[in-house]
Structure 1
Amino acid sequence: MKIVIIGGTGLIGSKTVDRLRKKGHEVVAASPRSGVNTVTGEGLKEALAGAQVVVDVANSPSFEEKAAMEFFNASGRNLLAAETFAGVKHHIALSVVGMERVHGYGYFLAKLAQENLIKASRIPYTIVRSTQFFEFTGAIAQSGTVGQTVTMSPAFFQPIAADDVADIMADVALGAPVNGMIEIAGPERVRLNELIERFLKATKDPRKVVTDAHALYFGLEVNDESLVPGENPRLGKMRFEDWLRHSLSEN
């Protein structure tokens, strides 16, 4: 089966490509680097010729609302039009858990616009909404850092390993479209401030965590429902400590 991975050279895309190729499928890792640009439409027709499945894990280069909205609207329209022409049977998109519960964040509005384009098309689809990746833990800590203090919300958090995301994306690519949305998350629900403390301790980082219920998460004030999935999510297997131990052993 021919499967095209849009954003196939990124963190999740490259891992998904690897898993599907190991299962014997013809996989195209499509990105501007390989001459496929969903925003301009360049290379789409050629890349999608003969494809049965398209997995879109590409992300906007900017989280600013206007730029993200322009990216997801242009990319979504071009990609879905090219898939219609090619006769693609299953469109899969990676999205974000909790977007409807966090208001006023422009990037989430852009992702919702992307989802709406998918739902309005006639292509069978599956939208996979994921929680944050373990791989962004350091960036989360840095976002709350002033001097040697890291101010963090105590809101519940349920991040997932990128390897687990890729496993699930590959499984979904080989399954039937659900014509709806599934949520995925890591196996542990923890407090955000506590997870960051565990991360700093394990990495021997001298910064101290200060807990503040109004601390912003990348500019957003969050609560216990903002960063976790709803009922019956599909859970990854890797626990945070196992990921962290493996990550530290590689560095």
Structure 2
Amino acid sequence: MVVLEVALELYVLMLVLHRVQAAMRLSGNADEAMERTIRGQLGASRFVPFAVFEMRVWYYGLFMRRGERLRFRGEQHFSYDKNGGNVSNQFAFLMVMLFEMPLMHMFLHLALSKPWLAWTLDILSLMSMLYLLAEYRASQWRPISLDYNALLIRNGVLTGDREVAYGLIESVVRCEDGIRRQRGILRFRQSGRLNVEIRLRENSKLATAFGGEQSVSRIYLSLDHPDAFIDALRQRL
């Protein structure tokens, strides 16, 4: 499993270096460039969503420069990085992990009799660190957007453009933060506070992050400027 994971990461890394950067120079849209590159290599494979996710982690974690130059699909964009100290909390957690890793590395190599097992755990810890760094950076630049025919939900580095057609939306209102996990509910909060509720029409189905569909009745968002988003979405509805 470790060998397969390393091979996958090196393959994705090479794609990022040689293809995505070239495609971005033409449009500035990193997300579209990554998806085009992966689909060009893998076609219609079911593995595509996972490979695109891995590519986003590498790109936002290590290769992104000048985030203000990135372009994203949509006509209006709304941020979520400052709500409830979202990215500040993420940064603090990163610093805790960064301080802990050398100590954990030393402890593992002293406590475990098999060095290869300790090194395997070290590699997994570094990969987790890379994901958290990518999440922190992507949260600052990947917005939630309103396009001409759909709401586009992005949330850190995990999901691509989750499309919600305006025809599926019944209403949008302010909400409180204490929303529990339930079947048919999507919550996009990270380290912020939920403040927008979007109700969908009965029997609405949305694409999942990694392919397939799921029934969804409500979507909750955590935005920096919820009232501006609600007004803009209501105008489009």
TM-score, with length taken from structure 1: 0.28
Structure number with higher strand proportion = 1
Structure number with higher helix proportion = 2
